[in-house]
Amino acid sequence: MNDCYWFHTHWAFGLLLVYGFSPVTALQQDSRAAAQARPAFWRDIRVLRVVGQVVAVVGVVLIVRWLIGNLLRNLEAANIDTGFGVLEQPTNFTVRDDPGFDNRSPLFPDLLVVGIKNTAIAAVLGIAMALVLGVLIGIGRLSDNWLVAKLSQIYVEVLRNIPPLVIITFFGFAIFTFGPFPAFNPTTPPWQIQFPGTDNVVLLLSNDRWALPSFATDGNTALFWAFVVVALVAAAVVWFWRTRVNIATGAPHRRLLWSFTTFVGLAAVAFVALGGPYRWSFPAVSESGRVIEGGFATNAGFLSLTFALGLYTASHIAEIIRGSILAVPQGQSEASNALALSGFQRYRFVVLPQALRIAIPPTINQFLNLTKNTSLGTVVAFPEITALIKTAIGNGKPAVQLLLVLMLIYLSFSLLISMLMNVVNRRMQLVGR
């Protein structure tokens, strides 16, 4: 029977070989059929995608090259300098409230440093104000108190629907220039609020300047700040130590209290040991009645810009916070109530930590918008970087180079804020297992 099976099997295989139906031939025919079914390369979607992308890139490069070449030709025809050596030329103008800057100061680094510093101060203070106020207004919109909820809603609906330029202009003219504050001149001295029983001024108000007490250096400042860095390191060590204690024993960590006490204690010891490297400096009007001596003084342009952008951005952050709180599952609040947590404890320990994970990404955009909107300070004569660059261009400096530098500065601001906030965002996110 085995011989018979062997005979029939080989007889059938021989017929396949004779008539050209071998397995190898069948596979070759299938591959040829597949090759014939594939479309031509000029109709292949994969080839067309690559060709389209190459054509688009080449087209963009050619257009940019033509634009740059056309710009350089026109600048040379107008006898305008195309190099960046112009940044070393003197500005030929002065900057308000910056006595160290005069008309002989160069564009780089003096002018750029002043503009970047003013822009950064306005952005940081505006962001801090917008964040705190936005969180409070956002929580207020969800309040059970009818009056608080309605006032928060009115705040949001009014401010977020007015252009920031209009708000800045309103503060600059309606609040300060033509507002209730007195003019700063010898005949109309500014309002002065003093410590009870002393001659020390804690707040000086006028339609052009405000002043507050500040610190003045009194020697050994470098050594003091070295001790402050040491105190920060010690506070960080205490923070990690309390975290390990909490993990190992389950005892309350109280990291903030322990770390803050360590930092303040070490800094206070260093301050006393060095004989007080800083002292209070109180503002006062000079004998001429035109200058503020001592303290920290700022102008109406800075106040108008910071307050306006802080209030405007807070209206948008409030809506982000409100939406983020509503996105937290309702069961979290119900569980908090079941544990007899107060309203403050519910928000502090349960709702807000979860809502912030949702709110941080859109809030980053608001921080970026506020920083870029500082360029509107030019309408209230605040010397931020855009206003100084415009003044330099108006004094005959080439616009192309200065505008490129200006765009690079704002790009650096945006990238720095995005980097810092993305680090915070990653730390706030839950780690999946």
The residues spanned by each domain of the chain are 2-77, 107-213+282-428
Share of the chain above pLDDT 70, in %: 90
Q: Is the pLDDT reported for residue 15 higher than 70?
A: no
- The residue-averaged pLDDT of 207-212 equals 86
Give me the pLDDT at residue 408, please.
Answer: 93
Is residue 19 very low, low, confident or very high in pLDDT (cuts 50, 70, 90)? Answer: very low
Q: Does CATH number 1.10.3720.10 belong to domain 107-213+282-428?
A: yes
Mean pLDDT of the residues in the chain: 83
Share of the chain above pLDDT 90, in %: 33
Give me the pLDDT at residue 268, please.
Answer: 92
Give me the pLDDT at residue 220, please.
Answer: 75
Q: What helix, strand, coil percent values describe the chain, rounded to 5?
A: 70, 5, 25
**pLDDT tens digits for range 260-307:** 999 999 999 988 888 888 888 888 888 777 778 888 888 888 999 999
| β-sheet with 191-194: strand ranges across | 191-194, 201-205, 209-212, 296-299
Q: Is the pLDDT reported for residue 235 higher than 70?
A: yes
The DSSP code sequence of 198-240 is S--EEEEE-SSEEEE-EEEE-S-HHHHHHHHHHHHHHHHHHHH
Q: Is the pLDDT reported for residue 153 higher than 50?
A: yes
**pLDDT tens digits for range 37-56:** 677 777 778 888 888 899 99
Report the range out of 18-27, 238-247, 395-404 with the highest average pLDDT: 238-247
**pLDDT tens digits for range 345-401:** 888 888 888 888 888 889 999 999 999 999 999 898 888 999 989 988 888 788 888
Give me the pLDDT at residue 125, please.
Answer: 94
**pLDDT tens digits for range 167-190:** 999 998 888 888 888 888 878 888
301, 295 contact by CB (below 8 A) = no
Give me the pLDDT at residue 5, please.
Answer: 46
Q: 37 Cβ partners below 8 Å, 6+ apart?
A: none
Give me the pLDDT at residue 32, please.
Answer: 59
Give me the pLDDT at residue 37, please.
Answer: 63
